Amino acid sequence: MAYSGPFHYGDRVQLTDAKRRHYTIVLEEGGQFHSHKGIINHDDIEGMDEGSVIKSTMGSDFLLFRHLMVDHVLSMPRGAAVIYPKDSAQILVEGDIFMGARVLEAGAGSGALSMSLLRAVGPEGHVFSYEIREDHLVYAEDNVKEYFGKTPEWWSPRLGDLGDVTQEDLGGPVDRVILDMLEPWEHLETVRDLLIPGGVFMTYVATVPQLMKVMEGIRELKCFTEPKAWESLVREWKVEGLATRPEHRMNAHTAFLIWTRRLADGVTPPRPQRRARK
């Protein structure tokens, strides 16, 4: 699947009608898209540029663009809830996922974060994705393969418990660790043993009790910097002249993100100083 340029057979194309409803097709020679607004032949889309408009047999206009990763994530089959794009973006930037990085994630869920990590590290890096449930791992493997067109060579999806993983299993320490699991505080010592000094550790949790347990566990272990936690809220706006206003619905709380970095061996974190009360 190409990411830019004219459309070719095998590309995933998103058709948008006048009411901004989206329809996704994979271009096939001789294929057809059928809707209540008429038929569009796949062969007519072949060779067209992105951003073009095509008419159906009933005269309805459809805007043509490639299916983006965010479209794929929000529409793909899932066994577990996905990490939403707004949180994946925070993980990529705050976690400093760089090209060539060795990244460990657990659990893999439906593969949403896996795809973002794989694009960020590139073929020079490697992503290890652990999942304890086989049915979830199957979803992740299928979704990643569908998006990339094949299973990336720099990806190792594995069925297993993070608590059993050692550096030998990974061929050495990793640069980044991302956890999305029910009880991440149970695996903090494993993270310490797998992560290089200075490496970034991020956790994705949904509830306040989970947030508190992870933060307290990190502090008690005394091998990480003082952790920080936040959530991101996204609200779209409806902009139509004097009727401009916030949308009634928004992507509010999905999860908390927790961030910290591993200290060098034998180093005790400095005690945080609180500002004196007046």
Is 90 exceeded by the pLDDT of residue 257?
A: yes
Q: Is residue 192 in some structural domain?
A: yes
Closest to 136 in 3D by CA, of 82, 206, 74, 203: 82
Q: Over the stretch 66-122, which tens digit does the pLDDT of each residue have?
A: 988 888 888 888 878 788 899 999 999 999 999 999 999 998 989 999 999 999 999
131: Cβ contacts below 8 Å, ≥ 6 apart: 106, 107, 108, 109, 137, 140, 157, 158, 159
The pTM for the full model equals: 0.86
136 and 253 co-located in one domain: yes
Contact (Cβ atoms closer than 8 angstroms) between residue 236 and residue 245: no
Show binding-site residues. 110-113, 131, 136, 161, 180
15 and 40 co-located in one domain: yes
Q: Over the stretch 223-252, which tens digit does the pLDDT of each residue have?
A: 999 999 999 999 999 999 999 999 988 878
**Sole residue written with tokens 């180093």:** 267
Show binding-site residues for S-adenosyl-L-methionine. 110-113, 131, 136, 161, 180
Of all residues in the chain, what percent carry a pLDDT higher than 70? 98
Domain that holds residue 204: 71-262
Closest to 117 in 3D by CA, of 142, 96, 136, 135: 96
Q: Is residue 270 in some structural domain?
A: no
When divided into structural domains, the chain yields a total of 2
118/75 Cα distance (integer angstroms): 19
89 and 154 co-located in one domain: yes
200 and 86 co-located in one domain: yes
